[in-house]
């Protein structure tokens, strides 16, 4: 009896540990926020001092070296000339104090250093907002930047809004291409659809991150049945932001009209058999190795808000490759949205 009284309840110990862990996390977040703000103010002060001595050649570098010596004496490591140069660049990249106090200070200094190196101001603001909102790790942020996550959003025009956090359109959540380098499958080798599917399931966490915000996994080879037949959908997800099911059909070859017709049928069946009253219309994505523009333009994909065809890449594209691909997609999208000017009134056909 006495022995039992002297034994601490494991739940009690767990509660205390959780309290300490939460306190440490809050303390770390508070310290991080204050230090990021301090780096911004240091950067601003350096710029102000440099501007006062802008007539002196090499004044900026001389200032940084002398300041580094003075700060290192009082505060130890962390204030080298390169670090001070980063503080200066931090302020020059984000001169708006409101951005620093509402976004930059929600992220670590490592996050901010990655983002401030980007040349595109819209991309910088996008990554700031999404990193804070989605709590991306530094590694995930670096991967998303390297894989051109921002640029690959299907709906991105040249003047895209800096965030899609408030939007509810399926096209805002679709990328083209999807980059699946984490599967470690050789690009030059033909892969069966089952091989690709198995690799995606084995790397499901990374695939969910690549899909984007709000996706949760529902099932693999998901069966839907009518009175006479059974059909199996490769992968099924639910997006809680769109409030709808998302069906993925994997194709390791070129997109065909049969693929489009099959996905159109799956979406219609899923809406009829599985969709709940409070769900939005089901979305279908055909993930294919390549696309035939004729199929895209003249199939039900054209103008549909529920059906999409996106390519996948098994290696990270270079910036030049991505730029070429995105320019091609924008050009084709513009052409698809233009009415055919050469269509005769009689709708004749020349065989």
Q: Can you give the length of the chain in residues?
A: 351
Tell me whether residue 249 is in a domain.
Answer: yes
Tell me whether residue 112 is in a domain.
Answer: no
Residues 6+ apart with CB under 8 A from 214: 173, 239, 240, 241, 242
- Boundary (domain end) residue, out of 64, 94, 124: 94
Residues 61, 180 share a domain: no
Give exposure, 174-186, as e/b (b: 16+ Cβ within 10 Å).
Answer: bbbbbbbbbbeee
To the nearest whole percent, how much of the chain has pLDDT over 70? 85
Residues 194, 324 share a domain: yes
- Boundary (domain end) residue, out of 73, 94, 115: 94
Tell me whether residue 150 is in a domain.
Answer: no
Residues 87, 222 share a domain: no
Sheet holding 215-225, edge to edge: 178-179, 307-313, 283-290, 244-254, 230-239, 215-225
Angle of CA points 240, 244, 248, to nearest 5°: 105
Residues 192, 90 share a domain: no
Torsion of CA 151, 156, 158, 162, to 10 degrees: -80
DSSP bridge pairs for 244: 239
pLDDT tens for each residue of 176-215: 889 999 999 988 788 899 999 999 999 999 999 999 888 9
| Spatial contact of 176 and 311, defined as CB atoms under 8 Å apart | yes
Q: Tokens 């603001």 — which residue? A: 125
Tell me whether residue 177 is in a domain.
Answer: yes
pLDDT tens for each residue of 44-71: 999 988 877 565 556 778 888 889 888 8
Task: Give me the domain span that covers residue 288.
Answer: 170-335
Tell me whether residue 111 is in a domain.
Answer: no
Residues 202, 71 share a domain: no
Q: How far is the CA of 171 from the CAs of 79, 188, 311, in angstroms? A: 45, 30, 15
Q: pLDDT higher for 314 or 171? A: 314
The count of domains in the chain is 2
Tell me whether residue 114 is in a domain.
Answer: no
CATH of the domain at 217: 3.40.1350.10
Q: Output the pTM of the full model.
A: 0.73
| Spatial contact of 241 and 266, defined as CB atoms under 8 Å apart | no
């Amino acid at each position: 009896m006495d022995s039992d009284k002297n034994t601490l309840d494991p739940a009690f110990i767990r509660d205390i540990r959780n309290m300490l862990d939460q306190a440490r996390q809050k303390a770390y977040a508070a310290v991080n926020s204050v230090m990021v703000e301090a780096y911004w103010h240091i950067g601003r002060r350096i710029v102000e001092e440099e501007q006062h001595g802008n007539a002196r050649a090499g004044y900026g570098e001389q200032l940084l070296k002398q300041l580094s010596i003075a700060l290192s004496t009082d505060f130890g490591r962390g204030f080298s000339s390169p670090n001070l140069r980063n503080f200066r660049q931090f302020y020059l990249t984000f001169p708006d104090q409101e951005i620093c106090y509402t976004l930059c200070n929600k992220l670590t200094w490592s996050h901010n250093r990655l983002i401030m190196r980007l040349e595109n101001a819209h991309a910088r603001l996008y990554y700031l907002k999404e990193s804070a909102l989605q709590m991306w790790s530094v590694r995930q942020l670096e991967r998303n930047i390297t894989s051109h996550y921002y640029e690959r959003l299907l709906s991105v025009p040249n003047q895209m809004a800096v965030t899609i956090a408030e939007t509810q359109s399926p096209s805002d959540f679709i990328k083209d291409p999807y980059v699946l380098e984490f599967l470690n499958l050789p690009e030059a080798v033909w892969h069966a659809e089952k091989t690709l599917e198995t690799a995606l399931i084995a790397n499901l966490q990374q695939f969910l991150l690549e899909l984007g915000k709000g996706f949760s996994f529902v099932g693999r080879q998901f069966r839907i049945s009518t009175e006479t037949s059974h059909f199996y959908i490769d992968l099924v997800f639910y997006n809680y932001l769109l409030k709808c099911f998302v069906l993925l059909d994997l194709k390791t070859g070129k997109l065909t009209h049969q693929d489009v017709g099959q996905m159109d049928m799956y979406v219609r069946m899923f809406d009829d058999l599985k969709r709940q009253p409070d769900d939005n219309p089901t979305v279908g994505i055909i993930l294919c190795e390549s696309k035939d523009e004729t199929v895209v333009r003249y199939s039900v994909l054209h103008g549909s808000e529920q059906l999409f065809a996106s390519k996948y890449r098994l290696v990270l594209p270079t910036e030049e490759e991505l730029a070429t691909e995105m320019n091609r997609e924008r050009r084709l999208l513009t052409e698809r949205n233009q009415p055919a000017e050469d269509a005769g009134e009689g709708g004749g056909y020349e065989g």
